[in-house]
């Protein structure tokens, strides 16, 4: 029967995510040890295969279980956050359950909606992608996040704990811009929560008040990450979207690398931050005297429509074509709404979150990180969202 292969030996047949991580490991870059479960391995054979894999990874180690589908991490469509990821998994039975969840996500509503929105193919009747699954030793991160290379700069976003806070857009992350080996801009976010490994997987907890507006990395660590990002871009031949983690010993790890599918708004980071590199937020007030709300212009363009405040899945049915989606944060399960609304406004999230990446791929104007947006826009009626300026205003 087919069986698992070491991550170092992963090829394109195992999906772009696994193949990319394998290439980085073969190049000597710091990627956690792992294995790949091929899509051809039958469900009934998973338990025996997982037992062998856990012997290789360390049976007591917590692992990350992540999809590596054939239509994921591509040059034009990332499927960022659409397939399943399960972190902090221990024990063969739970790893098998996580593997099955990753495979099942290929036919889930968010992947189906994303595929239809990015390819123009009908949601129904489109064959599901083959899904290999990467099982890697989990990095217990002191800080983690995402970096983008390209355009002569590297933009790094990070927060405390595991990277889920940044990629899911549940925090306002720290952000640095590195040019020519130097940190040229720094904006400290308001990091109120963090995700860490727990005995049952992961848990979300509050960040102590003193750490919320304290940078999660110093400049030296940022420059080391930026240098790793440039190595990845050179190795893979183009701008890269890289997930990273820094452990308690200060070691930087690369968790994922895929092509940048849509460039960041031109000079958005620099224009937004201004010259102040201090510990403050370094941007215009979110609610100004002229009634204009300001945040991070995460996806360019301009659109108008009725502000539709959505607090959870129970509100999805109220969303109409052409509405402006206003929410605290977006979860990957919200992807079907991205194919309906005219623009997106959130209270948290950064330039490199999954929501921002998908919005750019769909050319959907988005302004993220607008504090109290759901209250401010609850009865606003029609609003105009400018994803280049990072503003939300009444017409």
d(CA 123, CA 341): 17
d(CA 362, CA 308): 19
Beta bridge partners of 178: 154, 183
**What residues have CB less than 8 Å from 174, skipping those under 6 apart?**
145, 157, 158, 159, 186, 187, 188, 189, 191, 215, 216, 217
Alpha-carbon 323 to chain mean position: 24
d(CA 146, CA 62): 22
Closest CA to 108 of 77, 67, 63, 169: 67
Beta bridge partners of 206: 193
Closest CA to 77 of 357, 388, 320, 295: 357
- Point out the catalytic residue in the list 14, 186, 287, 354: 354
Do the Cβ atoms of 263 and 151 come closer than 8 Å? yes
Tell me, what DSSP letter sits at residue 347? S
Q: How many helices (H) and strands (E) does the chain have?
A: 11, 21
Q: Check if 14 is active-site.
A: no
Where does residue 215 rank: exposed (0-12), middle (13-18), buried (19+ CB within 10 A)? buried
Beta bridge partners of 241: 148, 258
Where does residue 124 rank: exposed (0-12), middle (13-18), buried (19+ CB within 10 A)? exposed
Do the Cβ atoms of 356 and 300 come closer than 8 Å? no
d(CA 167, CA 165): 6
**What residues have CB less than 8 Å from 380, skipping those under 6 apart?**
307, 394
Residues identified as active-site: 354
């Amino acid at each position: 029967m087919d069986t698992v292969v070491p991550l170092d030996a992963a090829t394109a047949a195992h999906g772009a995510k696994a193949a990319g991580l394998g290439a980085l490991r073969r190049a000597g870059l710091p990627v956690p040890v792992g294995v790949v479960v091929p899509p051809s391995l039958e469900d009934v054979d998973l338990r025996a295969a997982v037992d062998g894999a856990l012997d290789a990874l360390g049976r007591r180690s917590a692992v990350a279980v992540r999809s590596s589908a054939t239509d994921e991490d591509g040059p034009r469509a990332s499927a960022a956050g659409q397939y399943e990821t399960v972190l902090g998994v221990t024990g063969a039975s739970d790893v098998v359950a996580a593997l099955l969840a990753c495979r099942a996500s290929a036919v889930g509503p968010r992947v189906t909606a994303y595929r239809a929105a990015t390819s123009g193919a009908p949601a129904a009747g489109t064959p599901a992608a083959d899904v290999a699954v990467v099982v890697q030793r989990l990095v217990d991160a002191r800080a983690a996040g995402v970096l983008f290379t390209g355009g002569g700069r590297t933009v790094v976003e990070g927060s405390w704990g595991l990277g889920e806070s940044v990629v899911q857009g549940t925090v306002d992350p720290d952000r640095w811009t590195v040019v020519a080996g130097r940190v040229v801009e720094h904006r400290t976010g308001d990091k109120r929560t963090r995700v860490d490994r727990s005995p049952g997987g992961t848990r979300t907890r509050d960040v102590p008040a003193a750490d919320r507006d304290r940078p999660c990395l110093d400049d030296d660590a940022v420059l080391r990450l930026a240098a790793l990002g440039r190595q990845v871009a050179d190795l893979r031949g183009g701008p890269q979207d890289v997930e990273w983690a820094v452990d308690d010993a200060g070691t930087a790890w690369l968790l994922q690398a895929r092509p940048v599918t849509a460039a960041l708004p031109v000079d958005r980071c620099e224009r937004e931050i201004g010259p102040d590199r201090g510990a403050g937020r370094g941007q215009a007030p979110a609610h100004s005297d002229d009634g204009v709300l300001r945040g991070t212009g995460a996806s360019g363009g301009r659109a108008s429509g009725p502000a539709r405040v959505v607090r959870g899945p129970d509100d999805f049915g109220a969303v109409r074509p052409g509405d402006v989606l206003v929410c605290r944060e977006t979860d990957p399960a919200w992807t079907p709404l991205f194919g309906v609304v005219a623009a997106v406004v959130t209270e948290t999230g950064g330039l490199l979150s999954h929501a921002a990446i998908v919005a750019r791929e769909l050319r959907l104007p988005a302004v993220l990180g607008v504090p109290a947006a759901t209250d401010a826009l609850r009865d606003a009626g029609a609003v105009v969202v400018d994803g280049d300026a990072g503003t939300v205003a009444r017409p």
